[in-house]
Amino acid sequence: MPEKSLPKKVLDAWAILALLQGEEPAASEVARLLASAEHKKLKVFISIINLGEVYYCVGKRKGEEAARETLEELHNMPIVVSPADNDQVLSAAALKIHYSLSYADAFAVALAQFLNAPVLTGDPEICNLPEQFSVERLHLAP
């Protein structure tokens, strides 16, 4: 399948943190998605803003060295890191005006809209958006 026709998915920090912390079943769902990306069956994206969120969350819990190691581990995964250009910043800000989202979450949603792709997350702020937004909900065990 030619690369430009591959389906696309967007991960937010919630999805990556679930993977890193082994929070099931979300971690297995993200791992399966990344395996498909590794086999060139789809493309997985994350906004640099959400990657930064993962970095600081790990750093606050485990220290800056662990955050750097996590970042290196993520850079070895089949995830395309999307920069936050002017259009992305303004799209995220516009979402923040209208919806109850964290600023970082707004970047994941803005990227998904730009790519015409779903966001994979379990974050209630994103999962509770209106139907016009494409969200694939990840779950944690009760």
106 assigned to some structural domain: yes
- Cα atoms in the 13 Å half-sphere on the side-chain side of 53: 20
- C-alpha to C-alpha distance for 52 and 59, rounded to whole angstroms: 10
Instruction: Count the domains in the chain.
Output: 1
74 assigned to some structural domain: yes
CATH number of the domain at 121, please: 3.40.50.1010
At which residue do the structure tokens 């912390």 appear? 21
Query: Tokens for 4?
Result: 């430009």
19 assigned to some structural domain: yes
142 assigned to some structural domain: no
55 assigned to some structural domain: yes
Other C-beta atoms lying within 10 Å of the C-beta of residue 84: 17
Q: Could you give the angle at the alpha carbon of 43 between the alpha carbons of 37 and 45, nearest 5°?
A: 115
60 assigned to some structural domain: yes
Domain extent, residue 114, equals: 3-137
User: What tens-digit pLDDT sequence spans the chain (142 residues)?
Assistant: 445 689 999 999 999 999 999 999 999 999 999 999 999 999 999 999 999 999 999 999 999 999 999 999 999 999 999 999 999 999 999 999 999 999 999 999 999 999 999 999 999 999 999 999 999 999 999 8
What pTM value is reported for the model? 0.93
Measured CA distances, 30 to 34, 75, 94 (Å): 6, 15, 28
